[in-house]
Amino acid sequence: MTTQKHISARNFDAMISALERMSEHEIETEYDENGENLAAVAAETRALLLAAVDSHQRERLEALASERDAQLESLSRASVRLPSTVADRRELFARSLRRLAAEGNAAIAQFRQLTQMSDDEVVAALLQLAVLGQLDEHGEGD
Amino acid sequence: MPPPLTFNVTQFRAALDALDNAALGRLQAVARLYAMRTGGRLSPNELLNEAVKRSLEGTRKWSHGVSVEQHLIGAIRSLASHASGTQAALCGPLAEETRDDTAPFDEEETDRVQIDVSRLYSYFEERDDVDAVLVLDELQCRKNMGEIRNSLTLDVTALETIMKRIRRTAVRLGLSQDRRTR
């Protein structure tokens, strides 16, 4: 049975730092002495590094897709009681936007031509505002 | 301290793909030795994989003027240092840390931490490689290269030859360690 033997990390690191400075010829010799081929080791290492990048990217895309799905599900589940008439819905929409503008939210510039929006677009926009908690249902924006 | 490089995944992938055989060979050898430094807690492949992952996540900053090879070596060294020297590594997953390539090493820790080289000893003892065992004994006594030369009355070339033998064996044993953990 072998008893445990230790050397200091400093000495071990010194051994590693010698490797970091090796030329292509020297590193090739190191592998040759170990019965390995540098080109094969390099190809395997490159494949491993690139696979790590691809795996990371795949995980990120999956996370983003999952986040988007959750948001869509949340949007589709949102139950909002909207006014029953078109005129009242447009009034609620306009009031909510006025409140947003008053709060300094500049992202509503695209809604300046409100009269050009279809009734369906108004309903969709109201649902989005409701999800964002930005519906001025109690007339506070007036 | 130089500012960290800003890069996207495509650029990082291209930088890795552009590494030549020598750089990739050095990276693999360094990963095998640092894996041994972790006492088997992390394999060479895990170290390489984690170094890439942390670079992309931004927890390991890539500094201006540092090659991608040196950047990855720095990340591997940092991971191995954590795995071999901290309680966090012994008790659970690797601690999340944000470092960059220019962050100084903890000299005190490097002095304190001891690396298990039992497998290296066994290898040379089994082959009756007395010179290698003697040098390992001297290293175990925390002697530097000059002190070892004096103590064993070796010249620079002779000691370097033995150190090369030890290093190559460590790289080979590091590889077998990785294959065991796959």
Please report the pLDDT score of residue A45 as a whole number.
97
> What pLDDT digit, counting tens, does each position of B137-154 carry?
888 877 888 888 998 999
For chain A, report the end-to-end CA distance as a whole number of angstroms. 86
Q: Which of B68, B112, B41, B117 is nearest to A16 (CA)?
A: B117
When CB atoms are compared, the residue of A6, A13, A24 closest to B21 is A24
Please tell me the predicted confidence (pLDDT) of residue A38.
95
Question: Which of these ranges, A96-105, A106-115, B140-149, B162-171, has the smallest mean pLDDT?
Answer: A106-115
Exposure class string for A62-81: b at 16+ Cβ within 10 A, else e:
eeeeeeeeeeeeeeeeeeee
- Which residues in chain B have their CB less than 8 angstroms from residue A2's CB? 118, 121-122, 125
Distance CA(A45)–CA(A121), nearest Å, equals 54
A51: left (phi over 0), alpha (psi -120 to 50) or beta: alpha
- Tell me if B25 and A41 make a contact (CB, 8 A cut-off): yes
CA gap B47, B30 in Å, rounded = 10
**Does pLDDT of A1 surpass 50?**
no
Phi-psi region of A3 (alpha: psi -120 to 50; beta: other; left: phi over 0): beta
ipTM of the complex: 0.74
Closest CA to A117 of A96, A93, A98, A95: A93
For residue B182, give every residue at least 6 positions away whose Cβ sits within 8 Å of its Cβ, in sequence order, or none. Answer: B43, B45
Whether the pLDDT of residue A11 is over 80: the answer is no
Q: How many contacts, defined by CB atoms under 8 Å, are there between A and B? A: 161
Q: How far apart are CA A128 and CA B60, in angstroms?
A: 38
In this complex, is the C-beta atom of A6 within 8 Å of any C-beta atom belonging to chain B? yes
pLDDT digit string, tens, across residues A29-61: 989 988 999 999 999 999 999 999 999 999 988
Tokens 């020598």 identify what position? Answer: B22
pTM as predicted: 0.67
Nearest by Cα to B30 from B65, B80, B66, B105: B80
Distance of CA A37 to the CA centre of its chain: 40
Taking the CA of residue A66 and the nearest CA in chain B, the distance in Å comes to 18
Chain A residues inside the 8 Å CB shell of B163: 15, 18
State the DSSP string of B73-106.
HHHHHHHHHHHHH-HHHHHSSPPP--EETTPPP-
Query: Residue range B26-50: average pLDDT?
Result: 90
Tell me the two tokens of residue B43: 């394999």
Choose, out of A32, A53, A61, the residue to mutate when testing the contact with B (most B CBs < 10 Å).
A53
Q: Which candidate from A5, A10, A33 shows the least CB-CB separation from B168? A: A33
